[in-house]
């Protein structure tokens, strides 16, 4: 270890700057997008002149009465002027009072500039204000409940199975059968498989003319293929997604558990053996408690990744019949034919995913710490 | 050892041996079953990719490619946008590889080699970035990129992918540097190297494979990433984004060949970096 004054800071600076620009800033701006809205208001002038002081403020689409009109002149950027109509209008302001003031033809829809007695406010100055409208849109969306329910159900079903499988894999590798390196490689393969590829693989199994139906019909168990993936068969779709996720994402838990196991001194386990503990007793009372920090990290990582599951769902179900939170984020953002092209609501979904993820990480960390504190006391 | 026949042993020891043998074969059976659980789906999708399109559409499906044919793969590769999006994916993944290595290597070195105020806080800060769903940040970044005029661009996608892999890269590279004793660097300096020479002639050659492994991991992560890719690109799609985009009008041969095509690099890359996997994820739990 060396000690130097400024060199280490210089070396970590690029990483910190990078994470600041591409992580911290977008995170803040996601939350901001979710609770801010761009609105336009038309401030009326006290005199028919752009330089005049601003008075009361009208909302867009307000219908106003024209009381008077004058022809003024507008200065263009190139220094010339052109004629412009100013109207003295009366209408209901944002605060609900009837107000009068001047506005020009650019901000009003007027049928005849010289004769109409009514006009409608069509433009003004844009401003950004706090709003709950995007969050309300999200909560009131008809897919919201099923998205959140499915996401949580998925996590609750997948994670325990994944952890049991990963611990079994790690213990098998720990037993060091011949060919351990090969087994390790095979167990680690899914680490590099994307959720889209995994979704397509399991689609090949579950589709109507897929491998599961091929096997069932081939073995004579059923006569005609069973349709797993269809509207009203959410249970089967859920099963396919759960299997695909267990297949794909158990490896990462396995790798973390294996490195946790390697950190446990062999003497502890041997001591258990000497005192006559059976295999199960050694696993339950020595290995698992010592693995807790690794399991905690794996749990946090897997939960966060599970909230981002997206392509598996689209590859297997098409994203319409069955949905999850990340899929809704995409749907609301998407500018294509099926999307809603509303980045604000999409940001509300991102913010929700972020808050839930952080809340759960915090909960896991607290849950374990309090147990340790209890143990110390 | 062999001279001592099993039946010569006392009953109690014979039972213990039998139990050990049973346990040993139990380990093998379980290990192989779990291997099959992972390999069979890969085998099946590979079967589809190497069958004729007619066999892919057939029912019941063949469980072995017969005859072996590259027609399905060729059909997939010739589909609209696949080759160009594959090229885009490779560019984005290469950029992510390069950018993350350049940014993360100095930070990894600093964290593993120097004692400085705030070291643990910085390490923890970088680590805790992993507790955020980074991909989800694609939504605000897309808006920012549109405003900056760099939307729908492979470079801007690579910027996000680098943010995605950076925390892992820094920690992995730190653990790779930590595995080279500082004494080696000192020895080089004793023999007349400047600190920079010592770093480039002694430390870098020893750590290059590990740093490359971190880079390969960055490459695979970028190659696989879908969500940010569909949000941040429109015409310059990457391969996963292109496949996802075409899914609702795609035929089964396209989907199966696409699934297989996306899966192949991961088989190869994981093979090359398998030794470093524990560096990669083991570090995190410490």
CB contact under 8 A, A15 and B38: no
pTM over 0.80: yes
Residue B286 has a pLDDT of: 40
Rounded to an integer, what is the distance from CA A246 to the centroid of its chain?
Answer: 21
> pLDDT tens digit string along A159-177?
999 999 999 999 998 887 7
Residue A18 has a pLDDT of: 92
Q: Count of CB atoms within 10 A of residue B146's CB?
A: 13
> pLDDT tens digit string along A11-24?
999 999 999 988 88
User: Residues 54-83, chain B: which have Cβ within 8 Å of A?
Assistant: 57-61, 63
Domain with CATH 1.10.3720.10 in chain B: 80-285
Contact present, A184 and B276 (Cβ < 8 Å): no
Contact present, B145 and B232 (Cβ < 8 Å): yes
- The domain defined by B80-285 folds into MetI-like fold (1.10.3720)
Strands A63-75 and A81-92, how do they pair? Answer: antiparallel
CB contact under 8 A, A185 and B274: yes
Rounded to an integer, what is the distance from CA A215 to the centroid of its chain?
Answer: 38
Residue B243 has a pLDDT of: 93
Q: Considering chain A, what is the average pLDDT of its residues?
A: 86
CB contact under 8 A, A354 and B132: yes
Structural tokens at position A69: 């009109």
Better-scored residue on pLDDT, B112 or A368? B112
Structural tokens at position A56: 């009361």
CB contact under 8 A, B163 and A252: no
Please tell me which of the candidates A9, A22, A25 has its beta carbon nearest to residue B116.
A9
Segment A87-97 mean pLDDT: 86
Interface test with A, best of B37, B40, B41, B104 (most A CBs within 10 A): B41
> Digits of tens for pLDDT over chain B (286 positions)?
455 566 677 888 888 888 888 888 889 999 999 999 999 999 999 999 999 888 888 888 888 888 888 889 999 999 888 999 999 999 999 999 999 999 999 999 998 888 888 888 888 888 788 778 776 778 888 888 888 888 888 899 999 999 989 998 998 888 888 888 888 888 888 888 888 888 888 888 888 888 998 899 899 999 999 988 988 888 889 999 999 988 888 888 999 999 999 999 888 888 888 777 776 655 444 4
Q: Burial letters for A158-187: b for 16+ Cβ neighbours within 10 Å, e otherwise?
A: bbeebbebbbbbbbbbbbebeeeeebbbbb
Residue A79 has a pLDDT of: 80
Residues in a beta bridge with A74:
A82
Residue A368 has a pLDDT of: 64
Residue B105 has a pLDDT of: 93
Which runs of consecutive H residues, i.e. helices, occur in chain B? Answer: 11-49, 53-57, 71-78, 82-113, 119-128, 138-148, 154-178, 182-190, 195-198, 204-224, 227-232, 239-246, 252-273, 277-282
pLDDT at A87 over 60: yes
Q: Is A217 in the B-facing interface, judged by CB distances under 8 Å?
A: yes
Residue B80 has a pLDDT of: 86
Max CA pair span of chain A: 104
Contact present, A294 and A259 (Cβ < 8 Å): yes
Q: Is B275 in the A-facing interface, judged by CB distances under 8 Å?
A: no
Please tell me which of the candidates B39, B45, B140 has its beta carbon nearest to residue A33.
B140
User: Residues 30-69, chain A: which have Cβ within 8 Å of B?
Assistant: 30, 32-33
> pLDDT tens digit string along A260-274?
888 888 888 888 888
Q: What's the full length of chain B, in residues?
A: 286
pLDDT at A367 over 90: no
Which H, E and C letters describe chain A, residue by residue?
CECCCCHHHHHHHHHHHHHHHHHHHHHHHHHHHHHEEEEEEEEEECCCCCCCCEEEEEECCCEEEEEEEEEEEEECCCCCEEEEEEEEEEEECCCCCEEEEEEECCCEECCCCCCCCEEEECCCEEEEEECCHHHHHHHHCCCHHHHHHHHHHHHHHHHHHHHHHHHHHHHHHHCCCCCHHHHHHHHHHHHHCCHHHHHHHHHHHHCCCCHHHHHHHHCCCCCCCCCCCCCCCHHHHHHHHHHHHHHHHHHHHHHHHHHHHHCCCHHHHHHHHHCCCCHHHHHHHHHHHHHHHHHHHHHHHHHHHHHCCCHHHHHHHCCCCCCCHHHHHHHHHCCCCCCCCCHHHHHHHHHHHHHHHHHHHHHHHHHHHHHHHHHHC
Contact present, A69 and A105 (Cβ < 8 Å): no
User: Residues 153-212, chain A: which have Cβ within 8 Å of B?
Assistant: 165, 168-169, 172-173, 175, 177, 181, 183-197, 199-205, 207, 209-211
Q: If you ran DSSP here, which 8-state letter would residue B51 be given?
A: S
Structural tokens at position A103: 């506005």
Q: Is A16 in the B-facing interface, judged by CB distances under 8 Å?
A: yes
Please tell me which of the candidates B41, B48, B129 has its beta carbon nearest to residue A202.
B41
Residue B204 has a pLDDT of: 87
Strands A118-121 and A63-75, how do they pair? Answer: antiparallel
Residue A369 has a pLDDT of: 60
Element (H, E) at B250: none
> pLDDT tens digit string along A231-240?
888 899 999 9
Residues of A in contact with B215 (CB under 8 A): none
Segment A250-257 mean pLDDT: 90
pLDDT at A55 over 50: yes
């Amino acid at each position: 270890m060396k000690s130097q004054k400024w060199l280490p800071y210089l070396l970590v600076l690029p990483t910190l700057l990078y994470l600041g620009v591409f992580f911290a800033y977008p995170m803040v701006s996601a939350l901001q997008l979710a609770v801010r809205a761009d609105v336009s208001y038309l401030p009326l002038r006290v005199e028919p002149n752009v330089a005049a002081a601003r008075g009361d403020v009208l909302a867009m689409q307000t219908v106003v009465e024209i009381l008077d009109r004058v022809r003024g002149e507008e200065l263009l950027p190139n220094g010339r002027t052109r004629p412009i109509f100013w109207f003295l209008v009366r209408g209901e302001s944002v605060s609900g009072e009837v107000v009068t003031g001047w506005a020009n033809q650019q901000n009003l829809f007027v049928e005849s500039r010289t004769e109409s007695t009514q006009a409608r406010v069509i433009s003004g100055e844009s401003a950004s204000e706090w709003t709950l409208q995007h969050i309300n849109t999200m909560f009131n969306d008809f897919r919201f409940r099923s998205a959140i329910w499915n996401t949580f159900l998925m996590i609750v079903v997948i994670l325990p199975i994944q952890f049991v499988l990963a611990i079994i894999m790690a213990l098998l590798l720990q037993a060091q059968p011949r060919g351990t390196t090969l087994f390790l490689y095979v167990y680690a393969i899914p680490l590099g498989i994307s959720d889209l590829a995994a979704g397509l693989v399991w689609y090949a199994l579950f589709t109507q003319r897929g491998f599961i139906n091929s096997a069932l019909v081939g073995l004579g168990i059923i006569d005609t293929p069973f349709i797993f993936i269809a509207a009203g068969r959410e249970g089967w779709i859920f099963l396919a997604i759960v299997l695909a996720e267990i297949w794909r994402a158990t490896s990462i838990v396995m790798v973390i558990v294996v490195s946790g196991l390697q950190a446990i001194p062999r003497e502890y386990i041997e001591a258990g053996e000497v005192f006559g503990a059976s295999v199960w007793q050694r696993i339950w009372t020595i290995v698992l408690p010592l693995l807790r920090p690794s399991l905690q990290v794996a749990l946090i990582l897997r939960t966060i990744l599970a909230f981002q599951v997206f392509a598996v769902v689209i590859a297997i179900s098409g994203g319409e019949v069955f949905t999850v939170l990340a899929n809704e984020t995409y749907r609301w953002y998407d500018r294509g034919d099926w999307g809603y092209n509303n980045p604000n609501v999409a940001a509300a979904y991102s913010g929700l995913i972020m808050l839930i993820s952080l809340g759960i990480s915090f909960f896991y960390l607290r849950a374990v710490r309090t147990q340790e504190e209890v143990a110390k006391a | 050892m062999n001279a001592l026949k099993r039946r010569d042993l006392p009953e109690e020891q014979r039972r213990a041996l039998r139990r050990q043998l049973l346990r040993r074969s139990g380990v093998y059976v379980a290990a192989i079953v779990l291997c099959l659980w992972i390999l069979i789906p890969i085998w099946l999708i590979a079967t589809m990719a190497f069958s004729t399109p007619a066999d892919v559409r057939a029912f019941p499906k063949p469980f072995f490619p017969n005859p072996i044919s590259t027609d399905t793969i060729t059909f997939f590769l010739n589909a609209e946008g696949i080759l160009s999006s594959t090229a885009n994916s490779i560019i984005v993944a290469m950029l992510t590889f390069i950018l993350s290595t350049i940014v993360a290597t100095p930070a990894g070195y600093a964290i593993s080699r120097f004692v400085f105020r705030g070291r643990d806080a910085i390490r923890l800060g970088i680590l805790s970035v992993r507790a955020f769903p980074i991909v989800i940040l694609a939504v605000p970044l897309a808006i920012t990129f549109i405003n900056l005029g760099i939307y729908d661009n492979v470079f801007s996608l690579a910027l996000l992918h680098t943010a995605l892999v950076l925390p892992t890269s820094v920690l992995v590279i730190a653990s790779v540097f930590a595995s080279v004793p500082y004494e080696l660097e000192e020895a080089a300096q004793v023999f007349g190297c400047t600190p920079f020479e010592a770093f480039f002639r002694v430390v870098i050659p020893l750590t290059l494979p590990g740093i490359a492994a971190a880079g390969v991991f960055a490459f695979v992560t970028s190659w696989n990433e879908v969500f940010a890719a569909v949000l941040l690109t429109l015409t310059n799609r990457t391969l996963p984004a292109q496949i996802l985009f075409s899914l609702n009008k795609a035929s089964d041969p396209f989907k199966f060949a696409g699934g297989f095509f996306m899966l192949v690099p991961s088989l190869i890359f994981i093979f090359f970096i398998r030794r470093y996997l524990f560096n990669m994820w083991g570090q995190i739990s410490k």
